[in-house]
């Protein structure tokens, strides 16, 4: 999933919303901005977008607090997540997906390009469907090995998940194709 490939963004990271910025990663609503294709065994496909809703709700800083904190302590959110996991706090998100049929992906009918990462699919038209949960319960033992060298590539997808006409996904698949040939022997 894109979140695990470093492709998810917190809703807060796009802009400072009027209701504030999440106080920490465990309290952030995240979404994978890229659209993917899910294909069933018959070859039928749908477009999907992933969303992750924090189990314990959201909590916001004001815009002023967020700007001040980002200048004083830019690693606050990462450290807060790390410390919460170390303390054994339950860090969990409900994993949800929005589904769009190919026949519904007409930009003229929708009034927006469904593959534009700056657009949010209307939830009334494409409801969020829960499909699981994401739990963070262990910090990396070796950050460089476990995170920096994880070598995720948007072009390496499991069977049943394919790329879509999403221009950002196409760009990342072409230019971000990290693989064993580009990594040191530790990979």
CA 118, CA 167: separation in Å to the nearest integer? 12
In the chain, how long is the greatest CA-to-CA distance? Answer: 54
Tens-digit pLDDT profile for residues 24-39: 555 566 667 778 888 9
Contact 152/6 with Cβ under 8 angstroms?
yes
Tens-digit pLDDT profile for residues 49-89: 988 888 887 777 888 888 888 888 888 888 888 898 999 98
Percent of the chain residues topping a pLDDT of 70: 71
Residue 16 contacts by C-beta under 8 Å, 6 or more apart in sequence? 63, 66, 67
Residue 36 contacts by C-beta under 8 Å, 6 or more apart in sequence? 2, 47, 48, 49, 157, 161, 162, 163, 164, 166, 169
- Predicted confidence band at 7 (pLDDT cuts at 50, 70, 90)? very low
**Domain map of the chain by residue range?**
2-178
pTM: 0.69
Out of 5-9, 57-61, 87-91, 125-129, which region has the weakest mean confidence (pLDDT)? 5-9
Give me the CATH code for the 2-178 domain, please.
2.40.180.10
């Amino acid at each position: 999933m894109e979140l695990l490939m470093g492709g998810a963004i917190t809703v807060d990271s796009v802009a400072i919303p009027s209701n504030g910025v999440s106080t920490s990663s465990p309290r952030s609503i995240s979404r994978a901005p890229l659209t993917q294709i899910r294909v069933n065994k018959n070859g039928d496909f749908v477009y999907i977008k992933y969303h992750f809703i924090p189990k314990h709700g959201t909590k916001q800083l004001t815009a002023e607090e967020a700007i001040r904190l980002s200048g004083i302590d830019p690693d606050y959110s990462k450290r807060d997540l790390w410390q919460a996991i170390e303390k054994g706090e339950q860090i969990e998100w409900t994993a949800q997906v929005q589904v769009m049929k190919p026949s519904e992906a007409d930009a003229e009918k929708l009034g927006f390009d469904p593959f534009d990462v700056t657009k949010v699919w209307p939830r009334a038209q494409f409801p969020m469907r829960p499909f699981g949960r994401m739990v963070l319960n262990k910090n990396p033992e070796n950050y460089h090995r476990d995170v920096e060298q994880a070598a995720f590539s948007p072009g390496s997808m499991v069977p049943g998940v394919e790329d879509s006409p999403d221009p950002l996904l196409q760009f990342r698949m072409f230019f971000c194709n990290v693989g064993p040939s580009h990594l040191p022997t530790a990979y």
